[in-house]
Amino acid sequence: MTAEPENDAPFVRRALIVIALAAAALLLWQLRFVVVLLFGAVLIATIFRAIADLLEKYLRLPNRLAVLASVLLVVGLIGAVAWTIGAQVAAQGQRLVDTLPRAAEIIDARLASIGLGHPVSQSLQSVHSGGGLIGTNVKAFVSSVSLSVASFLIVFFGGIFLAAQPRLYGIGTIKLIPAGRRRLVAEAMEESDRALRLWLKGQLWAMILIFLMTWGGLWVLGVPSALVLALISGVLEFIPYAGAITSSVPAIMVALVQSPELALWVVALYVIVHHIEAYLIQPVIQQFAVEIPAVITLFALLAFGLLFGILGVLLAAPLAVVSYVLVKRLYVIEALDTPTPIPGSDEKPTP
């Protein structure tokens, strides 16, 4: 009797699935810059959509008109702020640009006086070595600026398109999922959107309050370019931990040009402001926003920075919010069958 040949179809199918998954992962890695830009567009769409939902609810505007109104409202608000303080910001910004090189020289001289050499001047020389901003470096700089502008426009208009038809793109994404899991993925996407909206609301309030406190403190201390330095602090508040440290550097350098004592007062100001934020502002904000464990945010900043570069650093916090919700919903609750609260949800975990 002859043995029947074994059926290799299941093995071949599994092998093809593994190969397809590996190819998809490799493709996503090669397109990681596009993926993070797509997330940026989703973030912009979330902002426009949140405003549009309010306009639909209270003004009874149609969906498309509400989105258009939200875009015009945001652009108009930015334009109004620029019109109001634009000249002052430009003047202080130019003063800041002129002051920073002098501050760098002062810091370099002070470090040399205590036997630490000239690390600042050596760093600047290494930056300018090989022609500095001449020749190929100019081309690289122009190319980088052009890419940044193009990326911003893609993210901005992509956000408008996503905000105008969220259901269309949401359903299209869900259709890529096997039928048995579509409802679960839809719920996870809704929970991620809710958490992201709440995080953005809390972050906006934090940025505004940091800007106002920093501006007031620098103005009282008499630090030049106080408005621009406060704007830098408010904007960089979007980046957890690293933003607070980075925003303090130019302020300390500008103060150091005036006197070492003023620089110490500026250091004290930034420490006080960010302690007020950590212990007073954030607890109040978290009552109506989303709280992510600090260690997750910190390592997300490192991980997304390594994966996506500067864009990953800029978007680390919202990426952490979405990733945290998806891991809880799709892995902890669904795969491990372990009850856990979802950030931004009022529902309690069922035992």
- Of 228, 254, 225, nearest to 100 (Cα)? 254
22 occurs within a structural domain = no
Nearest C-alpha neighbor of 237 from the set 255, 259, 215: 215
pLDDT of residue 96: 85
Q: Is residue 287, in this structure, part of any structural domain at all? A: yes
Distance (Å, whole) CA 229 – CA 351 = 50
Contact between residue 63 and residue 221 where contact means Cβ atoms under 8 Å apart: no
Total number of domains constituting the chain:
1
Q: What confidence tens digit (pLDDT) does each residue in 160-187 have?
A: 999 998 888 888 888 888 888 889 889 9
CA distance 247 to 171: 41
pLDDT value of position 129: 54
Residue 10 lies in a domain: no
pTM over 0.85: no
Most confident of 57-61, 139-143, 285-289: 57-61
200-205-206 Cα angle (round to 5): 95
SS3 of 297-343: HHHHHHHHHHHHCHHHHHCHHHHHHHHHHHHHHHHHHHHCCCCCCCC
Range of the domain at 296: 33-121+139-335
173-182 in b/e form (b: 16+ CB < 10 A) is ebeeeeeeee
Mean pLDDT of 52-65: 90
Please tell me whether residue 116 adopts helix, strand or coil conformation: coil
